Amino acid sequence: MNTTPAENYKNVVIAHSDVVIVCRPGQPILDAAHAQGIALPYACRRGICGLCAAELVQGEVMPVDAWPMTNDQCEAGQVLLCRCTPACDTITLRPSSWERLSVPRRLPPL
């Protein structure tokens, strides 16, 4: 049973789209996106490959754990979506690509 108050959920808007992904407190944006039918690029989910890097257009993010939110593959203004969660009510991102899934999928635990 989910007992997280609704006011603790955060919104992630994909720039220039009608997509809004809802993140639970501490949930990686990458995981939330897939669970809600939005596929974003990824491979390692550990902050290594850099495939999930996206431009943070508006808002703030915070790390989901002790691992950094950026790596050497990130350009200025980019964060790793596998390693961060929103730190304010609504953020806007510009991922390198995205697509709607026909069926949402839950990413397996790390």
CB of 52 to ligand FES, least distance (A): 3
Residue pair 54/95 in contact by the 8 Å Cβ criterion:
yes
Identified binder of ligand FES from the candidate list 29, 35, 38, 45, rule CB under 6 A: 45
d(CA 94, CA 56): 7
- Residue 101 makes contact with ligand FES by CB under 6 A: no
CB 27 within 8 A of CB 107: no
The reply on whether position 78 binds ligand FES by CB under 6 A is no
Lookup result for tokens 């808002």: 59
Q: Give yes or no for residue 51 binding ligand FES (CB under 6 A).
A: yes
Binding test (CB under 6 A) with ligand FES, winner from 13, 22, 39, 48: 48
Rounded to a whole number of angstroms, the minimum distance from the CB of residue 42 to ligand FES is 4
Pairing, β 53-58 against β 90-95: antiparallel
Tell me the two tokens of residue 91. 């953020």
Alpha helices in 15-72 (DSSP H): 29-35
The yes or no reply on residue 28 touching ligand FES (CB under 6 A) is: no
Residue 42 in the binding site for ligand FES (CB under 6 A):
yes
Chain residues that interact with ligand FES, rule: CB under 6 A = 42-45, 47-52, 80, 82
